[in-house]
Amino acid sequence: MVNKKFTAIFLVTLMALTGLLLSGCGGEKAKPQAQSKAEKKVVEFNYPELVYYDYIYLADELGYFKDAGVRPKYIGKVATGQVIPSLVNGSIDVATRHTPVVIAAIASGADVKIFTAGSQSTKKWPHMKYFVTADSDIKSIKDFGGKTIGLNSFGACSEYVTKKYLKENGVDPGSLNFKTAPEDQQEIPLSQGYTDIAIIHPPASGRTANSSKFRMLFSDYDIDQGISGMCPYSVNGKFLKENPEAVKELTEILIKTAKWNNAHPEEARAIMAKRFGIDVNQAEMYEFYEDQLVPEKEVQYWLDRLVEEKKLAAGQVKLEQIYTNEYNPNYKKAK
C-alpha cells in the first residue's frame, strides 16, 4: 500500500519536473529563432541604373549591403532628365542629381529632400569637363558665342554653370544652342559636327580625355574651384517618413563607402570600370565628401543661381526645405 502511494507521488513529481524542463528548453530555443538573420527585415529602395560614377553602385560592389537592413533594388535605366521626376512620383526612392534640379522640384511642391552630400569637385577629379574636337578653333569660353553645346539634360550644372561663366566673360548665353544626349554618347554628336562643345561627367569623361580625337578646354573646377560641383543624394519624402532607420543605415553605409573610395582611388576606379565594361585607364572618378554632411554654402550657391536665372523668387525656397543632416551620425558630433 505504502509502495503504491510512494510510486504515484514519484510519478506525478517526475512528470511535473519533465514539463518544467521541456518548457525551459522550448523558451531557450525560441529566443535565437526570433532574432535569426533569416527573419531580419530588409528595406529595399528603388534605384535607377545609370552610366555614372555612383557610390551606391560602389557600395554594392564592395558588399556593404550584404548583411544590411537596407539595400538597392535596381529598376533599370532612367533617362537623366527623368531621375528627379521619378523620385517625386515615387517610382524610385533614392536618387543622385544635381542640387538645382532638386531645388526646382521642391519649389514646385515636391516632397523630396537631400540627405547626403555625395561627390565633390576637386582639381584632380572635377565634376565635369568641357571638350571640343582636336582640330576645333575654339580655345576658350570667349569663343563659345553662337556655338552648340552638348549636355546630358537641362536645369542642372551643365546649363547654369556654363551660362554664368559665359556672362562673366562677356558672351551672351542666348546666342548658344544646347542639345541633349546620354552622358556616354556625347562624343558622337561632337565628332559628327552636330555639337561644337560637349560637357561630360565621370566615368565617361575619361574616355574622351584619353582620345586623340578630342581636346579638353577646362573643367567646372577651373571655373569656380568646385563650389558648384557637389552632386548630392536625395530621398522621396514618403519613403523617408516610413523608413527613417533605413535612411540612417544607408547614410552610414555611404559614409563608409566615401572613405573607402577616397583612400583607394585606383581600386575604386577598377571596380566601376568593370561594372560599366570600360577600360580602367579611361574611367574617371569622383571624390566624395568623407563625412557626407551636406554643406550649406554649396546649397546656398544654387539657391542664388536659380534666383539670378529667374527660376525662383528670392525667399521662395528655404535652406531647411532642401536638405537635412539629421540622419548622419557626424552631424551630432559636429553640433
pLDDT in tens, 274-314: 998 989 988 899 999 999 999 999 999 999 999 999 999 99
Task: Tell how far CA 237 is from the center of its chain.
Answer: 16
The tens digit of pLDDT for each residue in 215-241 reads 999 999 999 999 999 999 999 999 999
Tell me: pLDDT of 22 over 70: no
Domains defined along the chain, listed by start:
40-121+230-334 (3.40.190.10), 129-224 (3.40.190.10)
Model confidence pTM above 0.75: yes
Sign, CA torsion 73/248/41/65: positive
Q: Are 95 and 84 in contact (CB under 8 A)?
A: yes
Residue 63, SS3 per DSSP: coil
Quote the pLDDT of residue 184.
87
Quote the pLDDT of residue 10.
39
Phi, psi of 118 (to 5 degrees): 70, -135
As a whole-number percent, the residues of the chain with pLDDT over 90 amount to 81
The tens digit of pLDDT for each residue in 162-190 reads 999 999 999 999 999 999 998 889 999 99
Quote the pLDDT of residue 334.
56
The tens digit of pLDDT for each residue in 115-144 reads 999 999 999 999 999 999 999 999 999 999
Rounded to 10 degrees, the C-alpha dihedral 97/99/105/109 comes to 130
Quote the pLDDT of residue 335.
54
Rg of the chain over Cα atoms, rounded to whole angstroms, equals: 27
The tens digit of pLDDT for each residue in 56-103 reads 999 999 999 999 999 999 999 998 889 999 999 999 999 999 999 999
Quote the pLDDT of residue 36.
46
Q: Which residue has the higher pLDDT, 266 or 14?
A: 266
Quote the pLDDT of residue 69.
97
Q: Which residue has the higher pLDDT, 138 or 154?
A: 138
Tell me: pLDDT of 18 over 80: no
Quote the pLDDT of residue 279.
92
Quote the pLDDT of residue 332.
78
How does residue 46 score in pLDDT terms, banded at 50, 70 and 90? very high
The residue assigned the cell 521626376 is: 85
Tell me: pLDDT of 25 over 50: no
Quote the pLDDT of residue 31.
41
Q: In what order do the strands lie in the sheet with 129-133?
A: 177-180, 148-151, 197-200, 129-133, 214-219
> 328 to each of 160, 168, 281, 332, how far by Cα in Å?
29, 37, 34, 8
